[in-house]
Structure 1
Amino acid sequence: MLRLRPYKACDAQTIVSWIGDETMFRKWSADRFESYPITAEDLNRHYDRMADSDSFYEMTAFDETGVAGHLIMRFTDEKKTILRFGFVIVDDGKRGYGYGREMLQLAIRYAFDILKADRITLGVFENNEPAYRCYRAVGFRDKDTGETEYYHFGNEAWKCLELEMDRPE
């Protein structure tokens, strides 16, 4: 059974070990970190900068075998009604077994029931089909922003897709 808890600095080593190559790293983090490979210290330093914020939540999913997934949640508006998910990742040895879907369902419940968000948003690159399918499977829908945003990695231009979900009635 998967559960969700606040992130601990000791989770970092496990989380960064799931990032197999720079392409995967960029799909996970876009340009939020200066260099690849990322270390546990880099991840903790990044989160330490947000430690005093009451709008930023780092979460870890775990089961009886240990850390199984990770994501962050951050409010993007002053009224704290719109929450954005990011840095979503699951242990690569557990992919394809529903862990991502289950972790997202737990995070969605936390966002709506505990944090009282009215809407959840997230971004995913078009070339990250497994993540996109997972987000759609838990109820996110495509959001038309009216403009197309691209992220450049090497000689490629990755299209950014925006998704959202409103609080259930």
Structure 2
Amino acid sequence: MKETLRIRPCKKGDGKFVIRWLTNERMMRMWCRDSFSFPLTEEQMNGYYEKFEDNQYSWGFTALNDSGVPVGSFQMSRVDYEAESVHLGFIVIDPEQRGKGLGHEMVTMAIRYGVEILGMKRITLNVFDSNKGAIRCYEKAGFVNEKRGDDDFSFENEVWSYSVMAYTVTD
């Protein structure tokens, strides 16, 4: 039987799960570029969640499994009510749960929230071009590659380019 996924607003205690999921620096950088220092700490994650309380244009969400245990996380930010757009970011699924369709389900739920609850017509996200699994997940959810990002990211001896992908509501 397929597991049911639920999303709810994030809570500070959710950070300990994200810390467990991002076990190496490469994985963490794929998630956040240079927004956090490695290794992630509860203090960093608590600060991340606290910022949502003061920002009316940004929210964090946690995806829960059937038992109510966090298995994923994402952020909606850069809300523009006039342009009816929102940006999806900091998307992560528990590595032990990958390959089960939970990433696709979580992203689909984020789209539904953005469109049905927030009334957005456009949802964007950034993804590193080397993150092929994430790209497939986003394409399956209806995102299309819109343009190449203009500020590559250096990690160790690699340079990571990224793409801006968009989901657009069609009438």
Under TM normalisation by the shorter chain, which class is it?
over 0.9
Give the equivalent residue in structure 2 for 1:37. 39
Give the equivalent residue in structure 1 for 2:87. 84
Matches for 1:51-62 after TM superposition, within 5 Å: 51-62=53-64
Aligned-pair identity (%):
34
Give the equivalent residue in structure 2 for 1:72. 75
Q: Distance in 1 between matches of 2:15 and 2:6?
A: 17
Which stretch has the larger CA shift, 2-11 or 39-48?
A: 39-48
Q: How big is the shift at 1:78?
A: 6.0
SS of residue in 2 equivalent to 1:49 = helix
Superposition CA RMSD, Å = 1.5
Q: How big is the shift at 1:80?
A: 5.9
SS of residue in 1 equivalent to 2:40 = coil
Matches for 1:110-149 after TM superposition, within 5 Å: 110-144=113-147, 148-149=150-151
Which stretch has the larger CA shift, 12-21 or 46-55?
A: 46-55
Give the equivalent residue in structure 2 for 1:109. 112
Q: How big is the shift at 1:148?
A: 4.0
Q: Deviations over 1:36-59 (max 9, x none)?
A: 001122112023133122111100
Q: Distance in 1 between matches of 2:150 and 2:17?
A: 34
SS of residue in 2 equivalent to 1:106 = helix
Q: Distance in 1 between matches of 2:80 and 2:117?
A: 17
Q: Distance in 2 between matches of 1:151 and 1:30?
A: 7
SS of residue in 2 equivalent to 1:117 = coil
Which aligned runs of 4 or more in structure 1 are off by greater than 3 angstroms? none
CA gap of 1:78–1:114, structure 2 versus 1, over 3 A, is: closer
Q: Distance in 2 between matches of 1:80 and 1:70?
A: 25
Count of aligned pairs between the two proteins: 167
SS of residue in 2 equivalent to 1:50 = helix
Q: How big is the shift at 1:123?
A: 0.3
SS of residue in 2 equivalent to 1:149 = coil
Establish whether residue 50 from structure 1 lines up as the match of residue 21 from structure 2. no
Q: Deviations over 1:54-106 (max 9, x none)?
A: 11110011012311110000125363621101110001111000000000111
SS of residue in 2 equivalent to 1:32 = coil
Q: Which runs of 5+ in 1 are unaligned?
A: none
Counterpart of 1:68 in structure 2: which amino acid? V
